[in-house]
Structures are given as C-alpha cells and as structure tokens.
Amino acid sequence: MISVIISGHGNFPLALKESSGMIFGEEDNLVAVPFLKGEGIQTLQDKYNQALKDIPEEHEVLFLVDIFGGTPYNAATPFIVKDQRIDMAAGVNLPILLEALGLRAHMPLKQLLNKLKTISQESFQVCSEHLEKMKITANHEREDELL
C-alpha cells in the first residue's frame, strides 16, 4: 500500500483532500499538509515528520506537491534522499490525486509514478480542441450518410 501526503502553498492541500473525499469518501493514509504564510521550511519539515510517524512502516509514501522547486518540494526532498520507500511528484491536481488514490493499493510506488505522468498529460484538455474534433466527426458522419 502507498500512503499519500499532499502538500502545497496555503490551504490548497486541504481543499484537494476535501474534494477527493467528495468523490471517494474518506481515505485512510491520506494526509494534507499545508504550507502556511509565515511558516519556514523547518516548520514544514516538522509537519512532514509528524505525518510520517502516523504512516505504517510497511507502506511506501508518495508526496504530491503543488510546485516543483517550491518550499513544499524542497522540504520533502531530504526525506526522499534518506528513505527509498518515499518519492514525490510535483504538479498535483485533483485528477492526479484521484488516480493515485484509486491505484495505490494495486501497484508499487515507481509504477504508480509512471502512471501518474500519463494521467497528467491526459487530464489537461483544451475545450476548443475537443469542439473542433466533434465538428470534424459530425461532418464525416454527414458525408457518410450521403454516400
């Protein structure tokens, strides 16, 4: 099993956890750790230490943070260097979190991270591109009906 720690600036991680709860219900081994205004990297690392204490020893741990190179990312990096059962991905959003929660019991951490890379690309969609595809499909269907 993989435990997940969501972190980011402000209340963003709390909102992600709440939103995922609306879809999946309450999840075990999912922790939101906000980085609040006025806090420093040491405070955030202390919060990470506390979150890690509550995670079962046999679990792998996935940090999902908001920004690559931001304080939540930098604060988590020493934990990853020290413990190979921990890793991190930056750029978390709700589709990524939901996918992680849905798959974390079915694959090891490295495999999950590879899957999340593809989800990130698939979840970013441009509406006008979809509308254009729909228009092209509709035109082809009309042409086929005429034949």
3-state secondary structure of 36: coil
Query: Exactly one of 9, 59, 106, 130 is catalytic; which is it?
Result: 9
Place of tokens 């972190």: 7
CA gap 10, 111 in Å, rounded: 30
Strand partners, 87: 62
Sheet holding 60-65, edge to edge: 30-35, 2-9, 60-65, 86-90
Task: In whole angstroms, give the CA distance from residue 39 to residue 8.
Answer: 12
- What is the token pair recorded at 35? 């980085």
Is 9 tagged catalytic?
yes
Which amino acids are annotated catalytic? 9
